[in-house]
Chain A
Amino acid sequence: MISNRPITVAQMKAGERGRVIQITGGHGLVRRLEAMGIRPGKQITKVSSMLMRGPVTIQVNEAQLALGFGVARRILVELESK
């Protein structure tokens, strides 16, 4: 088994699934993301990303959220093996 090195949501490819392990950001961002359903332990799926460091769309439970590239870079996930 290859050990899953954590990557950021920005680095994920569309269609990949992962588990959030950490949010590296200020208290405000962590709280905001948490209230929107993104917190350590949650499983998320990347839906799409726009070109040129554009926003990233992810699926958390039944909701889809669009995050700016800078925010997506602060969310660390562990990819799930398919």
Chain B
Amino acid sequence: MKILLMGNPNVGKSAFFSRLTGVRVIVSNYPGTTVEFTKGYLKLGEEMAEVIDVPGTYTLEPTSKAEEVATEMLKDGDLVIDVVDATNLERNLFLTMQLLERDIPVIVALNVWDDTKHRGIDINVKKLEQLLGVPVVPTVAVTGEGMKELVSRIHEAASPPVSHRTRDERWAAVGRIVEQVQTVTHRHHTWLEHLGDASVKPFPGIPIAVLVLLTSFMIIRFIGESLIVYISGPLFNNLWAPLMMRLSEFLGSGGFLHDILVGKLISGEIDFTQSFGILTTGLFIPFGVVLPYVLAFYLVLGFLEDLGYLPRLAVLLDTLMHRLGMHGYAIIPTLLGLGCNVPGILATRILESKRERFIVATLISIAVPCAALQAMVIGLVGGEGWHYVAIVYGTLFVVWIILGLILNLTVKGFSPELLIEIPPYRLPSPRILASKLWMRILGFLKEAIPIVMLGMFVITILYALNVFDYIANFAAPVVSGLLGLPREATAALVIGFLRKDMAVGMLGTLSLSANQLVIGSVVLAMFFPCIASFVVLARELRLKGMLAATGIMIVASLVVGSLLNLIL
């Protein structure tokens, strides 16, 4: 049996899905995360039923790509669980009416039930059930309340005869039902609602946004640094290093295999930032330095998502983003890109126009540094003084703006207008935050481990074969002439294609001046995406779009690098 989970965007459908199937899926508070559908299984008596999380839709007369997908999927289902936001009965029932017209059994889940009480909404469930002619079960997906009852009543799902067929008839039917089952008592705004309204006003919304972003950055840095200083650093230095030293002795403290696995010994010791062996630096950078920052970043982002802040940020930034050829909603993939460019570029799918997807994806891959890169830049450049880190971030931000302005003027097509729902602020549930964090970390590890290992392997082999000397000679005029970097830095720039964090690590071994570190970091951030984002870029933008993006990247990074070299 195939069960479809359907409902408006933003009704807690994804949380509902993970409760129902036990599969951990990413759930969020902003509409449109479920562009791709998720599948899971539910045990119904003896049978295993397939549960499909259909993209959120307002109507079965599709008005967007996601809604088209939803309408298509309805044809293959055997039963629909219609997830309804109990605090927004009228609009949600419009979809219910359309579902009832189809020849498919329906059961209604009145989700977000816990919110109705303090919002002064009273719904007569029995009466609603009677009027709709299908079972109606109040649920709170976040806590699991009502889920058992819903599952036990799935077999009662029905497809009652209906008289409404046109849009006007449907709205009339909805109106009659709402009038009979719902009473709303007036009540005062809660503090969360006051805060919600305040944060979409220019004042104090913009100061709030600045505060939120700065605080987020500081919290991420604090958590990241603490994890490195108290957990990952000691683990590597006290537990892993002695083990590696023994391996080094076993391999005879030198030789080809030693150099690949352990790397070079720095004054007789393993230096996790400079040895560059697969098992030393190759493990330390992704797990010791980058993972703590990735963890911190996704924790903070998940909190902002589930709180419902991101759509408000989209509203605040919409005017600016339109000048850059995007609309406010594009801030969501952009912020995701600050964690890792790959999910950021993938998330551009939530944008409707091809033009906007191209602009956002290109800007992400050029001017949005991923957490891995940021962790290394903060570690390396931060050692020279905080204002240097500020120069790196400031430059990338200016590049993001200027490049956006240029792309907006040159790329053909138009960017559609903002039209999104602003969910109420909800205090995030720790359980869902944790499971989302876990999913994202897992995704990061799956992406990172193979490429890091491959990257280190390729780098070590190329080193051994002196290939970098050859490339360095070839690229020396550009690298030292335009960018003012020593020719050895060429190797780092080439390695940036495999792993940017690793490449910044290599810059650290070259004893560069602070200004050179700044230039190197900026150029690395802009120049070529790492191979993982490159592949995703090619997939999302097609070959032509990817080539265009790459061309822009190379030109932009050289121009900006040269300018910095002149100014600094």
Say yes or no: A68 contacts B419, CB within 8 Å.
yes
**CA–CA, A33 and B202, complex, Å:** 24
Which partner residue on chain A sits nearest B119 by CB separation?
A: A62
4 new A-B contacts at CB < 8 Å, known A47-B200, A62-B121, A66-B315: A28-B63, A33-B419, A36-B91, A55-B418
Which partner residue on chain A sits nearest B323 by CB separation?
A: A52
Closest 10 CB pairs of A and B: A68-B417, A35-B58, A54-B319, A35-B59, A37-B91, A64-B422, A32-B63, A48-B201, A68-B418, A66-B315
Given the complex, which residues of A lie within 8 Å of B419, measured CB to CB?
32-33, 36, 65-68, 71
Q: Digitize B299-335: 1 where CB-to-A-CB distance is under 8 Å, 0 elsewhere.
A: 0000000000001001110110000000110000000
Which partner residue on chain A sits nearest B423 by CB separation?
A: A64
Say yes or no: B318 contacts A55, CB within 8 Å.
yes
Say yes or no: B197 contacts A48, CB within 8 Å.
yes
- Given A65-B421, A71-B417: A54 and B197 interface contact (C-beta under 8 Å): no
**CA–CA, A33 and B327, complex, Å:** 18
Which partner residue on chain B sits nearest A74 by CB separation?
A: B417
Q: Digitize A22-49: 1 where CB-to-B-CB distance is under 8 Å, 0 elsewhere.
A: 0000001001111111010000000110
Given the complex, which residues of A lie within 8 Å of B424, measured CB to CB?
64
Task: Give the Cβ gap from A49 to chain B, nearest Cβ, in Å.
Answer: 8
Given the complex, which residues of B lie within 8 Å of A57, measured CB to CB?
200, 315, 422
- Can you sample 27 A-B contacts with CB below 8 Å? A14-B201, A31-B59, A31-B167, A35-B61, A35-B94, A36-B91, A36-B419, A37-B90, A47-B200, A47-B201, A48-B197, A50-B202, A51-B319, A55-B315, A55-B418, A61-B90, A61-B91, A62-B119, A64-B423, A64-B424, A65-B422, A66-B311, A66-B315, A66-B419, A67-B419, A68-B327, A71-B417
Say yes or no: B90 contacts A48, CB within 8 Å.
no
Given the complex, which residues of B lie within 8 Å of A63, measured CB to CB?
88, 91, 421-422
Given the complex, which residues of A lie within 8 Å of B314, measured CB to CB?
66
Is B420 positioned at the interface, with any CB of A under 8 Å from its CB? yes
**CA–CA, A62 and B418, complex, Å:** 20
Q: Digitize B420-464: 1 where CB-to-A-CB distance is under 8 Å, 0 elsewhere.
A: 111110000000000000000000000000000000000000000
**CA–CA, A3 and B316, complex, Å:** 34
Is A13 positioned at the interface, with any CB of B under 8 Å from its CB? no
Given the complex, which residues of B lie within 8 Å of A64, measured CB to CB?
196, 200, 421-424
Task: Give the Cβ gap from A12 to chain B, nearest Cβ, in Å.
Answer: 14
Given the complex, which residues of B lie within 8 Å of A66, measured CB to CB?
200, 311, 314-315, 318, 328, 418-422
Which partner residue on chain B sits nearest A69 by CB separation?
A: B417
- Given A55-B328, A55-B418: A50 and B319 interface contact (C-beta under 8 Å): yes
Given the complex, which residues of B lie within 8 Å of A65, measured CB to CB?
419-422
Q: Digitize B187-222: 1 where CB-to-A-CB distance is under 8 Å, 0 elsewhere.
A: 000000000110011100100000000000000000
**CA–CA, A37 and B92, complex, Å:** 9
Task: Give the Cβ gap from A15 to chain B, nearest Cβ, in Å.
Answer: 10
Q: Digitize A54-82: 1 where CB-to-B-CB distance is under 8 Å, 0 elsewhere.
A: 11010011111111111100000000000
Say yes or no: A53 contacts B319, CB within 8 Å.
yes
Given the complex, which residues of B lie within 8 Å of A51, measured CB to CB?
202, 319
**CA–CA, A60 and B314, complex, Å:** 19
Cross-interface CB contact of B319 among A33, A52, A62, A70, cutoff 8 Å: A52
**CA–CA, A48 and B64, complex, Å:** 26
Given the complex, which residues of A lie within 8 Å of B94, measured CB to CB?
35
**CA–CA, A32 and B196, complex, Å:** 24
Given the complex, which residues of A lie within 8 Å of B61, measured CB to CB?
31, 35
Given the complex, which residues of B lie within 8 Å of A61, measured CB to CB?
88, 90-91
Is B171 positioned at the interface, with any CB of A under 8 Å from its CB? yes
Given the complex, which residues of A lie within 8 Å of B196, measured CB to CB?
64
Is B348 positioned at the interface, with any CB of A under 8 Å from its CB? no
Task: Give the Cβ gap from B426 to chain A, nearest Cβ, in Å.
Answer: 13
Q: Digitize B236-273: 1 where CB-to-A-CB distance is under 8 Å, 0 elsewhere.
A: 00000000000000000000000000000000000000
Say yes or no: B63 contacts A31, CB within 8 Å.
yes
Say yes or no: B87 contacts A62, CB within 8 Å.
yes
**CA–CA, A44 and B402, complex, Å:** 38
Task: Give the Cβ gap from B70 to chain A, nearest Cβ, in Å.
Answer: 12
Interface centre among A39, A48, A61, A67 (most CB of B within 10 A): A48
Task: Give the Cβ gap from A33 to chain B, nearest Cβ, in Å.
Answer: 8
Which partner residue on chain B sits nearest A47 by CB separation?
A: B197
Given the complex, which residues of A lie within 8 Å of B205, measured CB to CB?
48
Given the complex, which residues of B lie within 8 Å of A32, measured CB to CB?
58, 63-64, 419
**CA–CA, A47 and B196, complex, Å:** 10
Which partner residue on chain A sits nearest B314 by CB separation?
A: A66
**CA–CA, A71 and B328, complex, Å:** 15
- Given A57-B422, A62-B121: A35 and B319 interface contact (C-beta under 8 Å): no
Q: Digitize B118-154: 1 where CB-to-A-CB distance is under 8 Å, 0 elsewhere.
A: 0101000000000000000000000000000000000
**CA–CA, A69 and B91, complex, Å:** 23
Task: Give the Cβ gap from B469 to chain A, nearest Cβ, in Å.
Answer: 54
- Given A36-B419, A68-B419: A50 and B318 interface contact (C-beta under 8 Å): yes
Given the complex, which residues of B lie within 8 Å of A70, measured CB to CB?
417
**CA–CA, A51 and B318, complex, Å:** 10
Task: Give the Cβ gap from B227 to chain A, nearest Cβ, in Å.
Answer: 36
Interface centre among A32, A37, A68, A69 (most CB of B within 10 A): A68
Which partner residue on chain A sits nearest B424 by CB separation?
A: A64
Which partner residue on chain B sits nearest A72 by CB separation?
A: B417
